[in-house]
A = this chain, B = another copy of it.
Amino acid sequence: MHLRYIELFHAVLTTGSITAAAKLLNISQPAASKALQHAEDRLGFALFSRVRGRLQATPQALLMRDRIEKIIQDVHDLERLTKNMGQPGNCPLRVTCTPTLALTLLAGATTLLRKAIPDVMAELSTQHSAAMCESLTLRDTDIGLTLQDTGHQNLRQRVLCRGQVMVIAPPGWWPEKELTQPLPIEALANQPMIGITVRDALGRALHGHLAQVSPAPRIAVSVQTYQLAHALVAKGEGLAVVDPFTARCGDANSVQMRPLKPHLEVVLYAMHRPDNPLDPVQKRFLDLVRQLAQKMLAQR
C-alpha cells in the first residue's frame, strides 16, 4: 500500500470527484484516475462505484475512512517535524502563546525586545494549550507561554511569575475607595455576570468556586475566551472573573478590577523543549516577559 494511494483515496473522499482530487494533489486527472484503479485492483475490491459517470464511496471505503484520515494526519505531523528539524531555524525567536496573553504580554514583550535588539526576527502565533504542546514537540515553535500547567512530560516548563484571579466590572461599578480591597466571592451572588466556558484548568477552578455562590450569579452570556468577557464587561454587560492579564488588557479606564477573595493563584509558564537549551536571545526575551508581566500585575 503506497502512501500516494492513501492520499489520493483521502482526497477523492473529501472532494467527491477524481478531477478535484487530482487538482488537490497537483497531478493530472488521468494520473489520479489510473492510480485509483490501480489501488482498487490491488486491494481486490472497489473503493467507489461509478454511477452515471460520478463516484460514490462503497461501504468498504467508508469503513477505511477513519483509519486513512488518522494516517494522513500522522504523516503530515511527521513531515512538519522533519521539515523543522531539517533547516535549523534562521529565526532565533519563535514564540506561541494562548490568545489571552497575545495582545498584552506577547505583543508588549516583543516590542521591548525589538527596542533592545532592533533587527531581531521573531515568529509569533497563538494557540490553545494542547495545540501548543504539539507545536513545540513538532518544532514549529520554540517557546510557549501559557497560564495552564500542562504537565507535559517531554517539555520543560518554567514559572515566570504568579498573579491572582481578578473580578472586573464596568467603570463606576464600585466606589473608588473599595477598589484596593479584594471582593468576597459571596458578593457575586445574584449579580449580572459573563459566564466563562473555557475548558482549561483555570476555567474549571472558577466554575467550581462560582457554583458555591448562592443565589447564583445571573449569567445571560457565556464566552469561551477571557478577552471576549473583558469586552462585554467594558460594554456594561455585567461582571466577570478573569485571569490578571486579561483584567489589565485594553484601556486603563475600560473596566474596574478587584482581586477575588478566595485567593486563586494564576501562574504564567514558559514552555520549551528540554533538549536544546535556550539561546541568549530567547533568554533575554523571557526576561522581558517576566519583567513586563510583573510590571503589569503591579500597576493599578
Residue of B nearest to A59 (CB): B275
Q: Are B75 and A1 in contact (CB under 8 A)?
A: yes
Which residue in B6, B67, B82 is a CB contact (below 8 Å) of A81? B67
Q: Is A91 an interface residue (CB 8 A)?
A: no
Residue of B nearest to A4 (CB): B2
B contact residues around A87 at 8 Å (CB) = 44
Residue of B nearest to A1 (CB): B79
B contact residues around A77 at 8 Å (CB) = 67
- Per-residue 0/1 for A51-87: is the Cβ within 8 Å of any B Cβ (1 yes, 0 no)? 0000000011001100110110011011101100111
Q: Are A81 and B68 in contact (CB under 8 A)?
A: no
What's the Cα separation between A85 and B45 when bound, in Å? 8
State how many copies of this chain the complex holds: 2
B contact residues around A85 at 8 Å (CB) = 43, 45, 60, 63
Q: Is A298 an interface residue (CB 8 A)?
A: no
Which residue in B2, B3, B4, B86 is a CB contact (below 8 Å) of A43? B86
Q: Are B67 and A74 in contact (CB under 8 A)?
A: yes
B contact residues around A43 at 8 Å (CB) = 82, 85-86
B contact residues around A68 at 8 Å (CB) = 78
Q: Are A78 and B86 in contact (CB under 8 A)?
A: no
**Cβ distance A25 to chain B, nearest Cβ, rounded Å:** 14
Interface size on A, residues (CB 8 A): 27
**Cβ distance A279 to chain B, nearest Cβ, rounded Å:** 17
Q: Are B70 and A82 in contact (CB under 8 A)?
A: no
B contact residues around A64 at 8 Å (CB) = 78, 81-82
Which residue in B2, B74, B81 is a CB contact (below 8 Å) of A74? B74
What's the Cα separation between A79 and B44 when bound, in Å? 12
Residue of B nearest to A138 (CB): B67
Q: Are A86 and B44 in contact (CB under 8 A)?
A: yes
**Cβ distance A37 to chain B, nearest Cβ, rounded Å:** 15
What's the Cα separation between A66 and B4 when bound, in Å? 22
Q: Are A1 and B67 in contact (CB under 8 A)?
A: no
B contact residues around A275 at 8 Å (CB) = 59
What's the Cα separation between A75 and B45 when bound, in Å? 18
**Cβ distance A42 to chain B, nearest Cβ, rounded Å:** 9
Q: Are B60 and A71 in contact (CB under 8 A)?
A: no
**Cβ distance A152 to chain B, nearest Cβ, rounded Å:** 14
Supply 15 A–B pairs (Cβ within 8 Å), ascending by A. A1-B3, A1-B78, A1-B82, A2-B4, A3-B3, A44-B86, A44-B87, A45-B85, A60-B82, A63-B85, A64-B81, A64-B82, A67-B74, A67-B77, A67-B81
Given contacts A2-B4, A68-B78, list 9 more A-B pairs with CB under 8 A: A1-B75, A1-B78, A1-B82, A2-B2, A43-B85, A45-B85, A63-B85, A70-B74, A74-B74
